Structure 1
Amino acid sequence: MSGGRLSPRAKLTTAQAARYLHLSQRQMERMRGDGTGPIWFKAGDKINSPCMYEVYDLDVWVRTQKAK
């Protein structure tokens, strides 16, 4: 995530998405729980499958936050 530009389709873990947005991982988890955060998806069917975010969705979420 450092250096070059990420592909809009790149998938990030919660920790990576938090760093990308300059938020804490706990903030990301809280927003995911209350439905105020960026679009996310589960990377698998198991209960412990990680929650993932696409860079495009993170960027869209940031733009919507600026409009508020």
Structure 2
Amino acid sequence: MTQRERLTTAQAAQYLGLSQRQMERMRADGVGPIWFKAGDAINSPCMYEVTDLDVWARQRKGK
């Protein structure tokens, strides 16, 4: 099994050509790419899998 590449919010924003603030807003509004917390602590980072970012970007084409 290969490990999926995971990115922080800042890395995911750069990957998609968006600002980190846009990513945070979309996450809060529930309209952005699939994300997950990388731990149980309150300060655990939000992470994104590259495959989920690609799917989300493809779905947005033409909008």
Could you state the TM-score of these two structures normalised by the residue count of structure 1? 0.85
Question: How big is the shift at 1:8?
Answer: 8.5
What is the aligned-residue identity percentage?
77
Are residues 1:64 and 2:63 paired?
no
Taking structure 1 as reference, are residues 8 and 60 closer, same or farther at Cα in structure 2, changes over 3 Å only? farther
Matched residue, 2:47: 52
Aligned length: 62
Taking structure 1 as reference, are residues 30 and 8 closer, same or farther at Cα in structure 2, changes over 3 Å only? farther
| Paired AA for residue 53 in structure 1 | Y
Gaps of 5+ in 1: 1-6
For residues 25 and 64 of structure 1, what CA distance do their matches in structure 2 show? Answer: 20
Could you state the TM-score of these two structures normalised by the residue count of structure 2? 0.92
Deviation >2 Å, runs of 4+? none
Matched residue, 1:19: 14
Matched residue, 1:43: 38
Question: How big is the shift at 1:57?
Answer: 0.1
Gaps of 5+ in 2: none
